[in-house]
């Protein structure tokens, strides 16, 4: 039986690497991507040392040429893709500035990776996902992208205003809804995942969850059965408010 093929962006460390590990443990052949090929290769070496099937691929989702090259490579070697986990993300907000004081450069760099990079990569890989009998697209978002959370004064995140990052995730959530609508009636399911507050370079080491715990929601959504949901926002099986 041919193994399912899964590509994870930003998979050389943190949640991305743990997502790759757990999908490989579940029987997938994982494509570990990173902006630098050496970083992807180091992650693959760690996975293969555990007896897992993995391959390395250089991919910068803020670079159109890199996206096109990656899509061509996967198409040539595999002819299809079963799972795409849009995990790569950045945070460029200045913590000492209010929303209106953030630089336009920070807004643009954040959206280029967190939203436009995810969109461009997904569009490039969609023909390969359509060759799968059970395609799964997981957009790694954040509860900080929930508008309902930000307008609720009783929410623990009400005062956590990291504008460019938060709003890029809000936009990613909205795109999840639109893409799921486009692909309704097909074998492809599209959902957004909130990993939780995880120990990573992005969130810091004081967070309560481990990267392995943070990967669980993405893995659950990447392995949904045929009657599973599409067009929703989840954290460990619970539906979150947009």
Q: Name the DSSP class of 145.
A: G
- Domain assignments of the chain as residue spans, ordered by start: 5-239
pLDDT at 204: 56
Q: Name the DSSP class of 185.
A: T
CA distances to 34, 113, 144, 208 from 164, rounded to whole Å, are: 23, 11, 11, 24
CA distance 199 to 43: 18
pLDDT at 183: 98
Confidence band (pLDDT; 50, 70, 90) for 6?
A: very high
Burial code (b: 16+ CB inside 10 Å, e: under 16) for 198-234 equals bbbeebeeebebebebbbbbbbbbbbbeeeeebbbbb
With 90 as the cut, is the pLDDT of residue 200 above it? Answer: no
**Given the residues 11, 28, 31, 165, the one annotated as active site:** 165
User: Is 165 among the residues known to form the active site?
Assistant: yes
Largest CA distance in the chain: 55
With 80 as the cut, is the pLDDT of residue 89 above it? Answer: yes
Q: What is the dotted CATH code of the domain comprising 5-239? A: 3.40.50.720
Strands 233-235 and 238-239 come out as antiparallel
**Mean of pLDDT values over 186-211:** 83
With 80 as the cut, is the pLDDT of residue 120 above it? Answer: yes
Confidence band (pLDDT; 50, 70, 90) for 1?
A: low
């Amino acid at each position: 039986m041919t193994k399912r093929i899964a590509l994870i962006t930003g998979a050389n460390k943190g949640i991305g690497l743990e997502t790759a590990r757990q999908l490989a443990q579940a029987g997938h052949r994982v494509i570990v991507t990173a902006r630098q090929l050496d970083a992807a290769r180091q992650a693959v070496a760690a996975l293969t040392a555990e007896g897992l099937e993995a391959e390395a691929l250089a991919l910068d989702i803020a670079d159109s040429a890199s996206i096109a090259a990656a899509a061509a490579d996967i198409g040539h070697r595999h002819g299809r893709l079963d799972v795409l986990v849009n995990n790569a993300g950045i945070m460029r907000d200045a913590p000492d500035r209010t929303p209106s004081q953030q630089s336009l450069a920070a807004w643009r760099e954040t959206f280029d990776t967190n939203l436009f990079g995810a969109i461009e990569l997904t569009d490039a890989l969609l023909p390969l996902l359509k060759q799968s009998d059970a395609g799964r697209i997981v957009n790694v978002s954040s509860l900080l992208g929930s508008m309902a959370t930000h307008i609720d004064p009783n929410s623990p995140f009400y005062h956590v205003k990291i504008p460019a990052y938060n709003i890029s995730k809000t936009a990613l959530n909205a795109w999840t809804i639109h893409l799921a609508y486009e692909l309704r009636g097909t074998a492809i399911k599209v959902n957004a995942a909130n990993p939780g507050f995880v120990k990573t370079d992005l969130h810091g080491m004081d967070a309560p969850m481990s990267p392995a715990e943070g990967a669980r929601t993405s893995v659950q959504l990447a392995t949904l059965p045929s009657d599973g949901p599409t067009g929703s926002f989840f954290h460990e099986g619970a539906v979150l408010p947009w």
